[in-house]
Chains A and B, each alone.
Chain A
Amino acid sequence: MRHLLGMGDLDADELVEVLDVADAFVEVGQRANPKVPALRGRTVATVFFESSTRTRVSFETAAKRLSADVLSFSAGTSSLNKGESLRDTIETIESMGIDALVIRHAAAGVPVQVARWLSSTCVVNAGDGAHEHPTQALIDLLTIRQVRDPGGKGVGCFAGLAVTIVGDIRHSRVARSQVCGLARLGARVTLVAPATLLPPSLEGWPVEAIGHDLDAVLPTTDVVSLLRVQEERGSGTYVPSLREYAHGYGLTAARAALLPPDAVVLHPGPVIRGVEVAPEVLDLPAVLVRRQVSNGVAVRMAVLFLLLGSGDRPSSGSRGAGGDGASAGGLGPGPGEAARTVEVSAVDDA
């Protein structure tokens, strides 16, 4: 894995490796000193052309906990119209000497384009348009494994798992990454949305079913993944109103009661209470939104570690299913290894 541009970059073994390493970093995160020296001397740049405080903070926290230096750039998409091309912007950042570039952009495919232009820098897609958001999907996979198979190392818990993805699949980069990752691990994925919020074609998508009736699928669903519905989609162009959407596709208390007892609910956030999920449902234990957020740092640590840290891994052993190569002991901070991070403040697009 040279870059993480989409879930297609990871085969099943690599997916397991990311999840296992992430689990180890979850444990690290619970220590008094959650920092490890794995990427000391390495530099991670976060380049966000589309604002996202949550994802940026998650990536930067991950990089700092790995003792990497962090360069933080934010630029509105409008800055491109101020004269500098995307390629010039990216090559300027690369020439500052970075090892990984974490990029988010409102336009699909930008990380793919950027990866073609860079010679040695690893590119991590932090969300591109409606294309992919691979680390979010990895977070969801890790969260599912933690609850379906606590302490588990393999991916057996995904075989035959019934996952229902609900909402604006057409415009969702999370959904595209989820479908790819879940299907690769053997889950049975059902998509539920009004027809206008489904992609125009689902030919070739590894999904079991596509439907418009949420009530019908909930009783046989193990995992519900709710997608955010942006307000402008509910202004009469894609659905008549958010109210009508919530009526048909919102996870109300009555709908939540249709789920099997051990079913869980995921949401990539930020949640709009009362639209995709009712306020009272959001506080049920089956809703794992907070766990997803806390897993975010560990997953992004795992991705950065696997992309950048392979040369000086603490253990040369295989990290395949069942292996313990990513044991927390090997990743723990050595005595006296004070973490030193340098922060360059953001280039503001004011």
Chain B
Amino acid sequence: MPEVRGPAPRMVIRGGMVVDATGWRRADVVVVDGVVVSLDDAVAPPPGSTVLDAGGCLVAPGLVDLHTHLRDPGDEQAETIESGTRAAALGGYTAVVAMPNTDPPLDSAPAVRAVLDRAATALVQVAVAGAITVGRAGARLAPMAEMAALGVRLFTDDGTGVQSPAVMRRAMEYGRGLGVTLAQHCEDADLVGDGVMHEGVWSSRLGLAGRPAAAEEVMVARDLALAGLTGVRLHLLHLSTAGSVALVAAAKSRGAAVTAESTPHHFTLTDAEVATFDPVFKVNPPLRGRSDVDAVVRGLADGTIDAIATDHAPHRADRKELPFDEAPAGMVGLETAFALALTELDAGWATGEGSGRAGRTPEERERDLISRILALMSWQPAVIAGLDPDHGGGHGGPIAPGAQANLCVVDPGARWTVDRAALASRSGNTPFAGRALRGRVRHTIVRGEPVVRDGEATR
């Protein structure tokens, strides 16, 4: 058993299987001053060091969420930077990208700086997505350069898409010059009209106004064309339809600089849930039909979709007790995303086309599943957000000496049931309450600090 030399290790993560983009190996991970210093078969931790038991667990780069609504500033009753990042840490995340649709919106350097300053003590790293247009009103370009100077790498008016093609085209051109990525909430407001759920079989039966799949797809198609015109890097948020997935696949086959994400609720739930009229199932883009869900699951398997993002969207309980038409859209997701991926994609990919999982042993399939999910939830989104080591960040990179210790330790076999009251988020609007899942976060380490230990937030 090798002795650890030099300064006493602050922390040893012991007994786990280390998984990152480079592969799998059994190793204890030693972290000193927030940095991984060594990986060894078995480390005898010197007295005074913190030992995190990872027996039976995976030790992986921390998850990165491309799409978190922290609601702070503006709706602190629904969520704060503190409560939202606690939820993120409990979900295995070490970094989140905060969406700019706060009140006031994050459309200027002072607004962005205020969030970054207050997030400096948050449980996980908070990156900010800046608004594309002033006030997210879709008309005038926000000062993207001054926000980019603060480290903003993603720009979006999320909550709505930039409706004007001409405005979006100028934003893309300007953004290309800055080297940033433009991210779009793809829904054409005109086609959406007063729709509150997916337009289809269920909206027709329930008498609720629908948002057609085409409302998303026309903007996906439009923005792919505009990205080709301008050469900007485009990231498509929360894709939810089979048509969108096909459009992105075709664009990628042409070599377009486009990435895409989908959410756990879009690969798990269908519009049939809305038959309860419970606004907890109201979200934009809406829950779609079975064929759309299947297409998203396939898109996650075949590489068309690059990331699983939560679109964590907390809302106060009373706001979700309004009539379905009036209730705000959105669901919380940070604390359930990893387990939903492990539980649902295991089933969805078992036989799915393009899954590449046929003919393997159960152990090989499990490893393949986990590697793919971690790619979708850690290193790929880290690159999209510019939070990976190649962009000077500390997330998603290989677990090797010198790496910043942003890690999650997860027990893939642990089974648990989602309990709304047990969520750390200030809001309980999860559509998954009561659902049995497998895969639980045991520890989350952010810059060497165990912010979650044995499933409990440490602060």
- A residues lining the B interface (CB < 8 Å): 80, 85-88, 105-110, 112-113, 116-117, 128-132, 171, 173, 176, 199-205
Chain A positions within 8 Å of B210 at CB level: 200
B277 at the A/B interface (Cβ < 8 Å)? yes
Tell me the smallest distance from the CB of B207 to a CB of chain A, in Å. 3
B326 at the A/B interface (Cβ < 8 Å)? yes
B199 at the A/B interface (Cβ < 8 Å)? yes
In the bound assembly, the distance between CA atoms of A106 and B199 in angstroms comes to 19
Chain A positions within 8 Å of B276 at CB level: 112
CB-nearest residue of chain A relative to B324?
A: A109
In the bound assembly, the distance between CA atoms of A117 and B322 in angstroms comes to 12
- Asked if A107 meets B326 with Cβ closer than 8 Å, knowing A85-B321, A87-B318, A112-B277, the reply is yes
B204 at the A/B interface (Cβ < 8 Å)? yes
Residue contact A204 to B205, C-beta cutoff 8 Å = yes
Chain A positions within 8 Å of B321 at CB level: 85-87, 113, 117
Chain A positions within 8 Å of B209 at CB level: 130
Contacts A129-B207, A201-B199 known; list 5 others, CB within 8 Å. A108-B206, A108-B208, A109-B208, A113-B321, A130-B208
Selected A-B contacts with CB under 8 Å, 16 pairs: A80-B322, A80-B326, A87-B318, A108-B325, A112-B277, A113-B277, A113-B323, A113-B324, A129-B207, A129-B325, A131-B206, A131-B208, A200-B200, A200-B210, A204-B201, A205-B205
CB-nearest residue of chain B relative to A132?
A: B207
Residue contact B325 to A107, C-beta cutoff 8 Å = yes
- Asked if A109 meets B205 with Cβ closer than 8 Å, knowing A200-B199, A200-B200, the reply is no
Chain A positions within 8 Å of B212 at CB level: 200
- Asked if A129 meets B208 with Cβ closer than 8 Å, knowing A86-B323, A203-B201, the reply is yes
In the bound assembly, the distance between CA atoms of A108 and B200 in angstroms comes to 16
- Asked if A201 meets B323 with Cβ closer than 8 Å, knowing A87-B318, A130-B207, A176-B205, the reply is no
B278 at the A/B interface (Cβ < 8 Å)? yes
B203 at the A/B interface (Cβ < 8 Å)? yes
Residue contact A107 to B199, C-beta cutoff 8 Å = no
Give the size category of B's interface with A: 20 to 34
CB-nearest residue of chain B relative to A109?
A: B277
Chain B positions within 8 Å of A200 at CB level: 199-200, 203-204, 210, 212
Pick from A105, A117, A199: contact of B323, CB under 8 Å: A105
Chain B positions within 8 Å of A171 at CB level: 207
In the bound assembly, the distance between CA atoms of A109 and B203 in angstroms comes to 12
Tell me the smallest distance from the CB of B193 to a CB of chain A, in Å. 9
A-B contact count (CB 8 A): 76
Mostly helix, strand, loop or mixed at chain B's interface? Answer: loop
Tell me the smallest distance from the CB of B92 to a CB of chain A, in Å. 33
> Would you give the 0/1 interface string for B208-240, flagging 1 where the beta carbon is closer than 8 Å to chain A?
111010000000000000000000000000000
Chain A positions within 8 Å of B208 at CB level: 108-109, 129-131
Chain B positions within 8 Å of A106 at CB level: 325
A-B pairs with the 9 shortest C-beta distances? A109-B277, A130-B207, A107-B323, A199-B204, A131-B207, A107-B325, A87-B321, A108-B207, A201-B204
Residue contact A109 to B326, C-beta cutoff 8 Å = no
In the bound assembly, the distance between CA atoms of A109 and B282 in angstroms comes to 13
Tell me the smallest distance from the CB of A7 to a CB of chain B, in Å. 12
In the bound assembly, the distance between CA atoms of A171 and B208 in angstroms comes to 9
Which B residues, 300 to 323, have Cβ-Cβ distances below 8 Å to chain A?
318, 321-323
CB-nearest residue of chain B relative to A131?
A: B207
Chain B positions within 8 Å of A113 at CB level: 277-278, 321, 323-324
Pick from B201, B206, B318: contact of A109, CB under 8 Å: B206
Tell me the smallest distance from the CB of B291 to a CB of chain A, in Å. 12
Chain B positions within 8 Å of A105 at CB level: 323
In the bound assembly, the distance between CA atoms of A79 and B210 in angstroms comes to 25
Tell me the smallest distance from the CB of B317 to a CB of chain A, in Å. 9
In the bound assembly, the distance between CA atoms of A130 and B325 in angstroms comes to 11
Tell me the smallest distance from the CB of B434 to a CB of chain A, in Å. 15
Tell me the smallest distance from the CB of A112 to a CB of chain B, in Å. 5
In the bound assembly, the distance between CA atoms of A108 and B210 in angstroms comes to 12
CB-nearest residue of chain B relative to A130?
A: B207
In the bound assembly, the distance between CA atoms of A117 and B279 in angstroms comes to 14
In the bound assembly, the distance between CA atoms of A350 and B205 in angstroms comes to 34
Chain B positions within 8 Å of A176 at CB level: 205, 207
Residue contact A201 to B207, C-beta cutoff 8 Å = no
Tell me the smallest distance from the CB of B367 to a CB of chain A, in Å. 41
In the bound assembly, the distance between CA atoms of A334 and B325 in angstroms comes to 47
CB-nearest residue of chain B relative to A117?
A: B321
Tell me the smallest distance from the CB of B202 to a CB of chain A, in Å. 8
Tell me the smallest distance from the CB of A210 to a CB of chain B, in Å. 12
CB-nearest residue of chain B relative to A87?
A: B321
CB-nearest residue of chain B relative to A110?
A: B323
In the bound assembly, the distance between CA atoms of A106 and B209 in angstroms comes to 12
In the bound assembly, the distance between CA atoms of A132 and B208 in angstroms comes to 11
Tell me the smallest distance from the CB of A130 to a CB of chain B, in Å. 3
In the bound assembly, the distance between CA atoms of A202 and B206 in angstroms comes to 11
In the bound assembly, the distance between CA atoms of A112 and B278 in angstroms comes to 9
Chain B positions within 8 Å of A204 at CB level: 201, 205
CB-nearest residue of chain A relative to B318?
A: A85
- Asked if A85 meets B322 with Cβ closer than 8 Å, knowing A109-B277, A112-B276, A200-B199, the reply is yes
In the bound assembly, the distance between CA atoms of A177 and B204 in angstroms comes to 13
